[in-house]
Amino acid sequence: MHSGYLVGTVLALLCSGYLIRTDALQGWPSTFYVSGILTLIWLPFWIIYVTETPHSHPWITAEEKHHIENSLRTTKDFNQRCLPWRKIFVSRQVWIVMACYVMDGWANYTLLVCVPQYMDKVLNFPLDQNGALSSMPYVFALIFIYLMSFVDAWLVGRGWISIPNARKLWSSIGAFGKSILLLVIGYMDTSCRVTIICLLVMNIMLSSATLLGFNLADLDLAPPYAGFLYSVFNACSTLSGVVAPLAVGGFTSIYTPVNAWRDVFILASAISCLCGVIYLLFGHAELLSWIIPLQQDIPEPSYEVISSMPQVCGEQLTISAISRPRGSSRCSAVRYKPILSGHEVEDDSNDEI
């Protein structure tokens, strides 16, 4: 799901450079026309096919509904509960993840929004090449995140790493890797254009690792309220999308282009490093304590073999959970009904701010 924005970024950057150069739709305004038209085409499908809960979806199959509700341990009655605003916003872990989203978003939006300007003003790439080169890192990021999701599921399924430690591992790779490469790019000689492009590709590719890290906190901390939490976290990230370009504009209006962009990359590097440190030291991927009493009235799903399948190690593994009863083989020849497993429950009675 999270990789969808990478696909959109690739298409938008790839097409924008060519649309700006054409006169068919008045040049640069055409990028907004095309984006708006595509959104209007997408909107009816969203309204028709997307519902708030699996139970209210008119076309979902019984098996699909059973799978989702058992995985998240929710029912129709559970989803009708009032949203626990206070418990959510006094949770220390929620605020830690919000801070990580803001800091990670700063570096991401600096690269997404401002790097095309860097390629134009500093590296002097023509406009048609600019769009293709700006989209190239996101192509590699898309491939990288799909491959790493299988690696993550395999490591967790083998029991070589716990889910909380896996979240911290991928968050650290994304945050610290991005921080180091941004710092290197800031001090690179601008005449080494090919090297800088390669570093940008590696930067954005590594930064996508956070999609397997704290970007899954909404499902880790409070699965029944994952949709609401994700909207809050994403809104926090978008704040950086407003402020970061303004900061870049401030730097470029004061200093020479090379010095200005060096400061831009150094600032983004420092913020990204801080993001990694905060989540590594204070973040966790366990259910919040107040979620447990809310789920006590929901029957624990029984384990029942629903189909046989060839023996493939990790077939039923997902990024956030492992669908397997305790004590069964990690490379099992049978498939079980999914449950919310692999999560540890931390005693966070002091988790409130």
pTM of the model: 0.75
Out of 126-130, 154-158, 173-177, 348-352, least confident range: 348-352
Average pLDDT, rounded, for the chain: 78
Q: What is the pLDDT of residue 257?
A: 83
At residue 121, the 3 state secondary structure works out as helix
- 334 forms beta bridges with 308
Asked whether residue 221 carries a pLDDT value surpassing 80, the answer given is yes
Asked whether residue 176 carries a pLDDT value surpassing 70, the answer given is yes
Task: State pLDDT tens for residues 316-342.
Answer: 443 333 344 433 433 333 333 444 444
Q: What is the pLDDT of residue 174?
A: 94
Asked whether residue 226 carries a pLDDT value surpassing 80, the answer given is yes
At residue 328, the 3 state secondary structure works out as coil
Q: Concatenated DSSP letters for 80-100? A: TSPP-HHHHHTBHHHHHHHHH
Query: pLDDT higher for 235 or 54?
Result: 235
Query: pLDDT higher for 295 or 85?
Result: 85
Task: State pLDDT tens for residues 249-300.
Answer: 888 888 888 888 999 999 999 999 999 999 999 998 888 888 766 555 555 5
Asked whether residue 118 carries a pLDDT value surpassing 50, the answer given is yes
Task: State pLDDT tens for residues 15-73.
Answer: 777 777 777 667 778 888 888 888 899 899 988 888 877 777 778 888 887 777 776 65
Q: Under a CB-based contact definition with an 8 Å cutoff, are residues 206 and 184 in contact? A: no
Asked whether residue 12 carries a pLDDT value surpassing 70, the answer given is yes
Out of 52-61, 156-165, 340-349, least confident range: 340-349
Q: What is the pLDDT of residue 1?
A: 63
Q: What is the pLDDT of residue 292?
A: 62
Q: What is the pLDDT of residue 165?
A: 94
Structural domains in the chain? 82-295 (1.20.1250.20)
- Give, as one character, the DSSP assignment of residue 58: S
Asked whether residue 100 carries a pLDDT value surpassing 90, the answer given is yes
Q: At which residue do the structure tokens 């959109």 appear?
A: 8
Q: What is the pLDDT of residue 47?
A: 87
Minimal CA–CA distance to 222: which of 82, 93, 66, 318? Answer: 93
Q: What is the pLDDT of residue 2?
A: 64
Query: pLDDT higher for 348 or 233?
Result: 233
The two tokens of residue 204 are: 């954005």
Residue count of the chain, please give it: 353
Q: At which residue do the structure tokens 């906190």 appear?
A: 217
Distance between CA atoms of residues 326 and 341, nearest Å: 9
Distance between CA atoms of residues 3 and 321, nearest Å: 18
Out of 224-228, 239-243, 302-306, least confident range: 302-306
Section 127-156 average pLDDT: 85
Percentage of the residues of the chain whose pLDDT score is greater than 90: 29
